[in-house]
């Protein structure tokens, strides 16, 4: 576990989108086996900017616009990876996973195991997640638990530009298939309302943020708030607003699989109170897994019942009022913290 947020050396500030594309570019410069493939990743630069500018430097042989054939090009990424390339394949929205799930679940995740460790699949499957802008049920889900559920897949979801670049570089260098899930809300896009935390200091040089390690961007002693991705930004806003009243420790998981269980246990051992904030569906998912991490180890660590601020078990509604009733918003997070503090 990393004790606090890594100190950023550079004062240069980037959007998360720019940080990701910079990380990709730096790896592409040093490793000719790295290439990018997906829909609208070329001249458009990725619908959410994750590949902005790459076509200008690397050209269409290494930044490949594909037809709308996800089974085909995700499968092709797997094949290229097994032959020693390091593909970064973009699935435009995670919600489209369904049309290519066999490649992801039965091939990308399992080939290493089935081959007794003889065949590696060093591939990054990069995809946009999350809602909050009325894109409705087929374009707003997080679904990280769906992927984390499958052994063999690593799943990361950064909450800020610094971690996004470092996790992307770590994902490219990793010998396993890594799902790199960026929330649209953390990308710092000019055409979407954003939290200032989506733009931040990013070191110029290439660096890794280790996969499987959580961070503590806001240390505290009263209550542990475990979260990931966009929701971390809300948790930090709430933690700062409660300073002087409640000492909130925010744990940014950064990686969903493998889960940094030690970091969760260490923090809850200290606070005895746990709030989990997760934009993915509540049942059968990450929030339950975090609770099990505690109860499998020692339920007596908890002084009070766990509060879960997770997406209710309903598809993402279109109407704004309904969507915000479902999303983990700051007021719901604060209410959950105050509830945990009552016990």
Partner 1 sequence: MRIRTYEATIQQHYHADKKPAWDIGAGLIPGEMHLAAGQEPVAVGLCANLRDDDAITAPHRPHHLALAKGVDMQAMTAEIYGRTTGLGKGRGGHMHLFDPSQHFSCSGIIAEGMPVAVGQAMAFRHKGLDSVAVGVAGEGAANQGAFYEAMNLASIWSLPVVFIVEDNDWAISVPRDSATPVKDGSVRASAFGMPGERVEGNDVERIYEACKRAVERARGGGGPTLLEVHTVRLWGHFEGDAQAYRGEELAEKQQQDPIALYEARLRADGLLDDAAVAEIAATAQAEVDAAIAFALASPEPSPADLLQYVYA
Ligand X SMILES: Cc1ncc(C[n+]2csc(CCOP(=O)(O)OP(=O)(O)O)c2C)c(N)n1
Query: Which parts of this chain interact with ligand X (CB under 6 A)?
Result: 39, 68, 70, 92, 96, 99
* Contact call for residues 300 and 122 (beta carbons, < 8 A): no
Q: Measure the CA–CA gap between 250 and 290, rounded to whole angstroms.
A: 14
Of 53 and 72, the one with the shorter C-beta distance to ligand X is 72
Residues ≥6 apart with Cβ < 8 Å to 242: 248, 334, 337
Of 201 and 317, the one with the shorter C-beta distance to partner 1 is 317
Q: Measure the CA–CA gap between 39 and 328, rounded to whole angstroms.
A: 30
Q: Measure the CA–CA gap between 291 and 274, rounded to whole angstroms.
A: 9
Q: Within positions 304 to 333, which residues make up the interface with partner 1, using CB under 8 A? A: 312-315, 317-322, 324-326
Q: Measure the CA–CA gap between 315 and 131, rounded to whole angstroms.
A: 11
Q: Measure the CA–CA gap between 144 and 124, rounded to whole angstroms.
A: 15
Q: Measure the CA–CA gap between 63 and 36, rounded to whole angstroms.
A: 5
* Contact call for residues 167 and 209 (beta carbons, < 8 A): yes
Cβ of residue 70: shortest distance to ligand X, in angstroms? 6
The reply to whether 15 sits near partner 1 by the rule CB under 8 A is no
String marking each residue 94-133 x if it binds partner 1 according to CB under 8 A: -xx-xx--------------------------------xx
Of 98 and 210, the one with the shorter C-beta distance to partner 1 is 98
Cβ of residue 90: shortest distance to partner 1, in angstroms? 13
Cβ of residue 328: shortest distance to partner 1, in angstroms? 14
Strand partners, 249: 224
Q: How many residues bind partner 1 (CB under 8 A)?
A: 43
* Contact call for residues 71 and 102 (beta carbons, < 8 A): yes
The reply to whether 56 sits near partner 1 by the rule CB under 8 A is no
Whether 107 is catalytic is no
Binding-site partner at residue 317 among ligand X, partner 1, none, CB < 5 to 8 Å by type: partner 1
* Contact call for residues 152 and 109 (beta carbons, < 8 A): yes
Q: Which one among 2, 33, 110, 135 touches partner 1, defined by CB under 8 A? A: 135
Binding-site partner at residue 322 among partner 1, ligand X, none, CB < 5 to 8 Å by type: partner 1
- Closest to 183 measured CA to CA, from 259, 280, 98: 280
Active site (catalytic) residues: 139
Q: What is the binding site for partner 1 (CB under 8 A)?
A: 39-40, 42-44, 47, 65-72, 95-96, 98-99, 132-139, 190-193, 312-315, 317-322, 324-326
């Amino acid at each position: 576990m990393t004790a606090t947020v890594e100190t950023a050396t550079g004062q240069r500030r980037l959007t998360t989108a720019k940080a990701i594309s910079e990380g990709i570019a730096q790896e592409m410069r040093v490793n000719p086996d790295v290439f990018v493939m997906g829909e609208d990743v070329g001249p458009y630069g990725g619908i959410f900017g994750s590949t902005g500018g790459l076509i200008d430097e690397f050209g269409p042989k290494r930044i490949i616009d594909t037809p709308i054939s996800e089974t085909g090009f995700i499968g092709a990424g797997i094949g290229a990876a097994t032959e020693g390339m390091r593909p970064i394949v973009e699935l435009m929205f995670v919600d489209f996973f369904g049309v290519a799930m066999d490649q992801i679940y039965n091939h990308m995740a399992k080939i290493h195991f089935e081959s007794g460790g003889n065949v590696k699949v060093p591939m990054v499957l990069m995809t946009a997640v999350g809602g909050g802008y009325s894109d409705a049920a087929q374009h707003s889900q997080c679904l990280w638990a769906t992927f984390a559920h499958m052994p063999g897949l690593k799943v990361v979801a950064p909450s800020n530009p610094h971690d996004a670049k470092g996790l992307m570089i770590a994902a490219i260098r990793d010998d396993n298939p890594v799902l790199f899930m960026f929330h649209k809300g953390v990308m710092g896009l000019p055409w979407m309302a954003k939290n200032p935390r989506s733009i931040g200091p990013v070191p110029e040089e290439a660096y890794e943020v280790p996969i499987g390690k959580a961070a503590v961007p806001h240390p505290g002693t009263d209550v542990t708030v475990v979260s990931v991705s966009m929701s971390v930004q809300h948790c930090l806003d709430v933690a700062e607003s409660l300073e002087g009243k409640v000492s909130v420790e925010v744990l940014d998981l950064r990686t969903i699989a493998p889960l940094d269980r030690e970091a969760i246990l260490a923090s809850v051992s200290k606070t005895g109170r746990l709030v989990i904030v997760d934009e993915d569906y509540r049942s059968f998912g990450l929030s339950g897994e975090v609770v099990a991490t505690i109860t499998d180890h020692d339920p007596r660590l908890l002084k009070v019942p766990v509060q879960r601020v997770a997406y209710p078990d309903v598809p993402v509604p279109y109407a704004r009022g309904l969507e915000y009733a479902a999303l983990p918003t700051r007021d719901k997070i604060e209410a959950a913290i105050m509830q945990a503090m009552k016990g």
